[in-house]
Amino acid sequence: MEKLRRIINQIAYTQTHKLTTLSPIHLSLIPLLFLSSKLYKLTLFFRHYLYKFHFLPKHKLPVPVISVGNLTWGGNGKTPMVDFIANWFVNDLGVSPLILARGYGGADEARMLQRHYSGSSVKIGVGADRAATGASFLHRHGYIYPLDIKSFEKPIAENRVVSDKIGVAILDDGMQHICMQRDLEIVMVNALSPWGNSQLLPFGPLREPLTSFSCADAAVIHHADMVSDQSVFVIESTILEVNPSLPIYLSSMAPSHFFMAPHVSSKLPLEVVLEKIVLCVSAIGSPNSFVQRIEKMSPLYIDRLDYSDHHHFQHKDIRMIKARLNDLKNKFGSKPIIVVTEKDYDRDSEVLKGLDPFEVLVLCCKLQILHHNGYSEDSFKRLLIRCLC
């Protein structure tokens, strides 16, 4: 299954005019993937049609709803953006958010958010039917609406106590969850691999056509710091062709520290990998961004093992990882360090214990909004506040 995923991924990110350069195995799958893509497009059209003309009902929560979604599969920064928004609401505005996550792939992203907000007033609901999950949480904890927008201008420490009642809902991976009404639609784009071959699933990586930007309230180009200005310009131009008035923000991931598994409360400086032998192991949507950020920390040598997004590490994977670690140890004469992402740790923390006696470091990062073309973190936060009115 892992091999098939890799093959499909390679096809999806190969431009149409270069498909003939792929192997016979790849080429044999293209007709089936192409046909499946057409069927997916037809299904997508009818689904949107049924909701647009009210043949299927849309559910509305009694609090503002912010959707953070994307057009393509994996690596677009949806969950880091949800984390950024939730953190700002609860810590800066004193508003308790409800994060509604689908729980796909073993709910690794939801587990990470639950760890981040343990002991806080942030609520995290996990389930495929996010309208029902949201309604259940609102009934259980209560909600506040409308919010006192003017009070947001005052420092939280001096004037407000964070209420346990829910003030806003945030849909993680919400763009395809069209059965729920939303007050703000944020679409994330991966600058490192924005559209692939521009085809719909499974022939390409698109879950929605590019025309879906017409329904967005804001677009965010993630990992923008890892590509050239020209690449950002090309992505912006593609978006603005669909929606000329759409505000476009840039974002990046800022590494803050490591913790040594399983000690999640420990904080090790980024310099801990300086001049060390590092093996990057990840099962995320954008492994290149992860490896490139580790490279900037100047280790002596980096090796990598990439798995498909949400892949659950098995004992055979642990054996493979340990074999690679022993090879590195023999080659360099010192014990290497394994580095994983938070998402990988929260998905398979128990399995990763099998890497003992090698040390497992978990990289912690925070999303940040970059200043670009008059758009900044402050203007992004003003956009969020407007949706609360």
The amino acid sitting at 178 is I
pLDDT at 105 over 70: no
pLDDT at 106 over 80: no
Q: Is the CB of residue 236 less than 8 Å from the CB of residue 372?
A: no
Q: Tens digits of per-residue pLDDT, 245-291?
A: 999 999 999 999 999 999 999 999 999 999 999 999 999 999 999 99
The percentage of residues in the chain with a pLDDT greater than 90, rounded to a whole number, is 89
pLDDT at 153 over 70: no
Instruction: Provide mean pLDDT across the span 238-245.
Output: 98
pLDDT at 154 over 80: no
Distance, C-alpha 339 to centroid of its chain: 19
SS (H, E, C) the chain: CHHHHHHHHHHHCCCHHHHHHCCHHHHHHHHHHHHHHHHHHHHHHHHHHHHHCCCCCCECCCCCEEEEEECECCCCCHHHHHHHHHHHHHHHHCCEEEEEECCHHHHHHHHHHHHHCCCCCCEEEECCCHHHHHHHHHHHHCECCCCCHHHHHCCHHHHCCCCCCEEEEEEECCCCCCCECCCEEEEEEECCCCCCCCCECCCCCECCCHHHHHHCCEEEEECHHHCCHHHHHHHHHHHHHHCCCCCEEEEEEEEEEEEECCCCCCCECHHHHCCCEEEEEECCCCHHHHHHHHHCCCCCEEEEEECCCCCCCCHHHHHHHHHHHHHHHHHHCCCCEEEEEHHHHHHHHHHHHHHCCCCEEEEEEEEEEECECCECHHHHHHHHHHCCC
Q: Do 65-252+369-386 and 254-367 show the same overall fold?
A: yes
pLDDT at 68 over 90: yes
Instruction: Provide mean pLDDT across the span 138-159.
Output: 78
Name the pLDDT band for 104 (thresholds 50, 70, 90): confident
**Domain boundaries 65-252+369-386, corresponding CATH code:** 3.40.50
Q: Is the CB of residue 247 less than 8 Å from the CB of residue 305?
A: no
Name the pLDDT band for 3 (thresholds 50, 70, 90): confident
The pLDDT score that the predictor gives to residue 175 is 94
The percentage of residues in the chain with a pLDDT greater than 70, rounded to a whole number, is 97
Q: Residue 93 and residue 53: Cα distance in Å, rounded?
A: 37
The pLDDT score that the predictor gives to residue 17 is 86
Q: Is the CB of residue 175 less than 8 Å from the CB of residue 214?
A: no
pLDDT at 122 over 60: yes
Instruction: For the chain, give every domain's residue range.
Output: 65-252+369-386, 254-367
Name the pLDDT band for 231 (thresholds 50, 70, 90): very high
Mean pLDDT is lowest, of 28-37, 49-58, 102-111, 203-212, for: 102-111
Q: Tens digits of per-residue pLDDT, 330-357?
A: 999 999 999 999 999 999 999 999 999 9
Q: Closest Cα partner for 169 from 183, 189, 149, 188?
A: 183
Q: Residue 371 and residue 378: Cα distance in Å, rounded?
A: 9
Q: Tens digits of per-residue pLDDT, 8-24?
A: 999 999 998 899 899 99
The pLDDT score that the predictor gives to residue 150 is 73
Return the CATH class of domain 254-367: alpha beta
Residue 303, C-beta contacts closer than 8 angstroms, at least 6 positions apart: 277, 278, 279, 280, 324, 328, 336
Q: Residue 222 and residue 208: Cα distance in Å, rounded?
A: 18
Residue 188, C-beta contacts closer than 8 angstroms, at least 6 positions apart: 68, 69, 70, 76, 77, 78, 81, 219, 220, 222
pLDDT at 159 over 80: no
